[in-house]
Structure formats: C-alpha cells, structure tokens
C-alpha cells in the first residue's frame, strides 16, 4: 500500500498512532515517552509550566498555503513560545489531533515531523497525545516547561519607569498572510515567516535572568498583547515607532499592496516574538531591543498617541484570513 | 443580556475566558492559575505525568443525551483516569475548547463546572486552556499528575503468574449508551453511568503502592485494553467471567434489550475502570477485585477461550453511537 494513499480509516487508530510515534525523537527530559496511558516528563525544580493552544483548519492555517510540516512547526511554536514567555525552558509537547477520516496518513506524518522538529529547536520532545476522527482538522497542543529554579515572569509585574523590549520578529507573519491572501507567493521571506515562525525561545529564560518584570508572547499583535500587560500590571505602555525595525522586504510589500507596514508590526500576531518589561538600569543582551517605556496610568499608546486600528485578533469577533 | 442567550460571538474570546475562569477553583498544587501565558503546577518529585484526550461532539458525547456539566465530568474523567492508571495522583487539567460561535455561553459555563467538579473529585484543578471558534464542538483535555516518588506503573511489566484485578465499574456506561440509543432513559443507574463515570482515582496510587506490575485505564473495553497490556508485556491474560459482577439492573436491561450483559462488561469502555496485574502473593484492599490471571504466551482469553465479539472501540474503524 502506498504511503500517500493510506486513509486513516484503513490504518485504524492504533496503526496510525504507531506510524506517527515512530517518527518522534525523545530528548533528555523524557522519562517515559509515547505509548502508555500517560507520559512522564522531568520537572527538575518541582514545578511544571503548562499551556494549551488550539489551531483550527481554515482559521489558523490553510492547507493550500502551508504544508503539513509547516503547520506542525506553527502549532508547536505557538505553544512553546508561551512557555518561553514565562521565562521557562520548554520540555515537552502533547498533541490532541482531530482529523477527517480521509486525511492522507502522509499529511499526518509530515505534521508530526513539523511538531517534532520545532520541539527539538526549542529543546523539547513530543511525548504523547490522542487522535480522533472529526469532520474538521483541529490541532490542540499542550506544552510543558521548566523554570530552572526561577520565579515565573507573569504579565502583572511591569512598573512605571520600566523599559519595554522585544525579542524576535514583529509583523513578518502578518505581512506574509496579506501577501498570500492577495494571491501572491512572494516575497518569500514574509510568506515563510507566516508558515514557520522563528521564535526566540532562548530569549525567554534570558529575560528572566536579566530581571524582566513582565513578559508575554506576541500572538495577537504587539499592541493587543501589551494591552494584557498594561491591564494586568495596571500601568501605561508607550511604544516608540522609531525603535521598530521595518525590513526592506516588508516596506516594499507594503507599498505594492497598499498597506502601511507599521500596521503589520504593531498589530500582526503569529511571529511569536516576546515582549517584556525590564527595570531601567538593565543591560540587555543582543536578543532584546528596547522599543518603548512603561509609565503610570493605563492603556497602550504609540509615540504618545492612541493607535487607530484594529489592535489584534479576537478569534470570535474577527474571523481571520488564515 | 440574559446569560443563556449570550453567544460567544458577542462576548468575544477574552470576555468568554474571563466568564469561564471565574467559575474555577484552585487546589494546593496550583502555583499560578489561569490568566497568563501559561500556568505553573507543583511537581513535587521532580517529574510530571501528562496525557491528552480529545472528545468530539456527536462521536464521544451527544448534547441531547448529556448535559454540558455531564460532558465536562466525562471529558475530565477520561484524562484523570489515565493519570491514575500510571499510579499517579492527578494535579491539574488544561482544556482546549473548539466551539461553534453560536454555542450558548451557559453551555460552556456548565461544561467548565463539570470539568472543575470532576477535577476536584480527583484532587486536581483546571489551570488553563484555550478557546477557539470552530464548526464542530471538540474538547481536548490535558491532565497532569504527581507520582509521589514512585515509579510509574506502565503496561509492560505484567508477568506470567500475576493476578489480574479490576477497580471500578465495567460495562455500566456501555449499557447506558445502549439504553439511550434504543430511545430509553432508564434504568437511571446505567444512563447516569454513561453521563458521569465513577472513576476509582484513588485505586491507581493504591495499586502502585501494592506493587502492581502493570496497569491501564479501561476506556476501550476490558478485553481491548488488556490486549494492550498483553502485547506490551508479552504475556497471555485470561479473564474469569465468574469473577465479574453483573449488577441486577444491567442483567434486566440486557434481557429487555436482547443484549448479553457480558458483552457490555467485557467490551464496553468509558467507565474508566482500572485494570492492573499484581504479583500472586499481593494482599489487595477493598478497591481491587481479582478477575483473572496472567500466563505465558500472548493474547487475551475469557475462561480460557477466545471471546468472539468486537473487543472494543477503534475510533476510526467503528464509529460509536456516542
């Protein structure tokens, strides 16, 4: 039987699971990997960080825009970034896969490859999961992480006077979605950024060591996510656009498509950059770029002004393109 | 606005999440609960047990057969039982909820109540999750647990000469589904068993302390799940029907519906009983009942014979009634 034509319906649940788990590699935090009722993962400092993120076919990804491997990378990255945003080191992923009976097994295998490879990039392993038949393809990923003895960096510790800094890319994935939604396939750098975010995983623990007072994964857009920090910390945050780098390919794409690239940078999610606040005397390393300041008050401003645009995605209010 | 008529589309993702998380209670293992990028949960012995289970509307539950609260209990129980089956104490749940835009918020709130209450029954707390809009209602739950210093009890340690024992109910939920699928609502005990399994959570750690050599959560049916132990341990397992209790209500329902109740007991899943093997000299407490023996060879038999019936559910091969 040719791999590509195996339907899940033929392989059965257990045949499918054995086929997929064969492709996974186990890192040193895996005490007991896939194949039993549950996995066992190291939690060296007697605490475990845990989060869950769900991706729905046609809403968070499109199979005509992204390969199965790309989707695996993105699904893993969305979760691993949340772990990093607590200042923790990712250790493990569990995957709840709901999929149509007629999905080619090769698609699921390539999804597993993407999940596995992105987990490896972050130092983590896929340790378990569940597979069910469903009318819609939905990928629910849970990530676990290790705080390495440090306190978690929450959203609520920012203080007036702190610096705001960002690690990773802003607006690239959003620009890539705009490019794809207008029917183009280039610039390749932007399209690839949507397909496989480059998450600065190591910058999360680094920020914690540097004394970050708050941190968040930028998944809904910088302004929207800073809004969560501002609200949780009861502070005001101002972003300086002069500090935000807009790469040439994004500027060109903006001109070609009639979009102000600042909108992508300020409101686009899915690059999974990290945003954090630091005491003003911090010496930031190369991962982190200062892009604003924390003040007293409330809300988020850009160059001292309210930014007039949709600030980010709310999954129920605005159906996104992808 | 009346609670029952709020659509998620109106409340938005964040409004919805705040409404639901207000209903959750946090136990002593919760270091940081819902509301940040990730939760932090105690892992006292430097390891964490983790598993994921996915439930699909119309396949694993039916909203006309079970209330939202019932579905929450079942979704939590399915995962918490897997933790107990490793010999661990459940500590936390994360919930990835994919739901139609027009699902009443009251339904989701009651689902959260069910998840929260079942977690509490097992000594665990709901610590986080994600909510996305989707054409199909799908509940992906991840459970975490604490081994309390013991080795995990896997599927692979059963030895020839061991006793086979069971804790919890067998066949009740399956009988309940048959009753419901024939259009009846009674006997209530069976229907309720389908809606809210009574999982013997404490029996898992007890078995580990007693020296269980292997253990599994009975979710696909006793014979199917014993098949996993037999395969992983490379042993033969024989079940003695004389040791299996068939309650009067099940016997009566079997007669009324023309079903041999032994089929429910041997092949029905979803009660989330625990099956384990123990060295022959073990002194079992009241939780555990000996129902068979482990021998050399392979496969699972009933009273020494191959049992001629569908041995359990395989989600892709046989679409279940509920």
Indicate yes or no: CB of A54 within 8 angstroms of CB of B216. no
Output the six-digit token pair for B135: 């054409």
CB pairs under 8 A between A and B: 248
In this structure, what are the phi and psi dihedrals at residue B137, rounded to the nearest 5 degrees?
-80, 115
Express each pLDDT in A197-229 by its tens digit.
Answer: 999 999 999 999 999 999 999 999 999 999 999
Question: Model confidence at B319, in pLDDT bands (50, 70, 90)?
Answer: very low
Express each pLDDT in A58-86 by its tens digit.
Answer: 999 999 999 999 999 999 999 999 999 99
Indicate yes or no: CB of A38 within 8 angstroms of CB of B8. no
Output the six-digit token pair for B290: 């000996």
Indicate yes or no: CB of B85 within 8 angstroms of CB of A37. yes
Which pLDDT belongs to residue B22?
85
Indicate yes or no: CB of A46 within 8 angstroms of CB of B49. no
Q: In angstroms, how far is CA B108 from the centroid of its own chain? A: 20
Backbone dihedral region for residue B89 (phi beyond 0: left; psi -120 to 50: alpha; all else: beta): beta
Least confident of B13-22, B45-54, B201-210: B13-22
The residue among A142, A228, A272 with the most chain B CBs within 10 A of its CB, best to mutate, is A142
Indicate yes or no: CB of A152 within 8 angstroms of CB of B56. no
Output the six-digit token pair for B178: 């048959």
The residue among A61, A131, A140 with the most chain B CBs within 10 A of its CB, best to mutate, is A140
Mean of pLDDT over chain B = 91
In this structure, the number of other CB atoms found within 10 A of the CB of residue A18 comes to 13
Which pLDDT belongs to residue A2?
40
Which pLDDT belongs to residue B309?
62
Cis peptide before A121 (omega within 30 of 0): no
> Residue A322 and residue A311: Cα distance in Å, rounded?
17
Specify the DSSP class assigned to residue A218: E
Whether the complex's predicted ipTM is more than 0.85 is answered with yes
Express each pLDDT in A108-151 by its tens digit.
Answer: 999 999 999 999 999 999 999 999 999 999 999 999 999 999 99
In this structure, the number of other CB atoms found within 10 A of the CB of residue B81 comes to 31
Question: Model confidence at B320, in pLDDT bands (50, 70, 90)?
Answer: very low
Q: Which is more confidently placed, A24 or B295?
A: B295
Question: Model confidence at A23, in pLDDT bands (50, 70, 90)?
Answer: confident
Which pLDDT belongs to residue A318?
39
């Amino acid at each position: 039987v040719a791999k590509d034509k195996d339907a899940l319906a033929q392989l059965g649940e257990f045949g499918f699971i054995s086929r997929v788990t064969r492709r996974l590699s186990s890192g040193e935090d895996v005490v007991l990997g896939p194949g039993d009722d549950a996995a066992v993962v190291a939690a060296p400092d007697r605490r475990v960080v845990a989060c869950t993120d769900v991706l729905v076919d046609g809403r968070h990804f499109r199979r005509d825009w992204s390969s199965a491997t790309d989707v695996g990378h993105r699904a893993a990255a969305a979760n691993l970034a949340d772990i990093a945003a607590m200042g923790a080191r990712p250790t493990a992923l569990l995957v709840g896969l709901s999929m149509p009976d007629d999905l080619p097994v090769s698609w699921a295998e390539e999804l597993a490859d993407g999940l596995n490879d992105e987990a490896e990039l972050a130092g983590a392993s896929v340790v378990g999961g569940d597979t069910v038949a469903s009318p819609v393809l939905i990928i629910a990923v849970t990530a676990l992480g290790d705080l390495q003895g440090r306190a978690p960096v929450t959203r609520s510790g920012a203080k007036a006077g702190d610096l705001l800094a960002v690690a990773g890319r802003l607006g690239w994935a959003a620009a890539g979605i705009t490019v794809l939604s207008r029917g183009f396939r280039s610039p390749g750098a932007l399209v690839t950024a949507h397909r496989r975010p480059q998450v600065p995983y190591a910058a999360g623990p680094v920020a914690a060591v540097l004394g970050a007072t708050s941190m968040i994964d930028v998944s809904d857009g910088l302004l929207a996510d800073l809004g969560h920090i501002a609200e949780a910390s009861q502070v005001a945050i101002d972003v300086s656009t002069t500090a935000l780098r807009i790469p040439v390919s994004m500027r060109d794409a903006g001109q070609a498509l009639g979009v102000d690239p600042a909108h992508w940078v300020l409101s686009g999610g899915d690059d999974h950059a990290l945003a954090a606040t630091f005491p003003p005397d911090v010496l930031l390393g190369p991962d982190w770029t200062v892009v604003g300041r924390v003040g007293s008050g409330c809300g988020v401003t850009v160059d001292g002004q309210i930014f007039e645009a949709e600030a980010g995605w709310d999954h129920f209010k605005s159906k996104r393109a992808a």
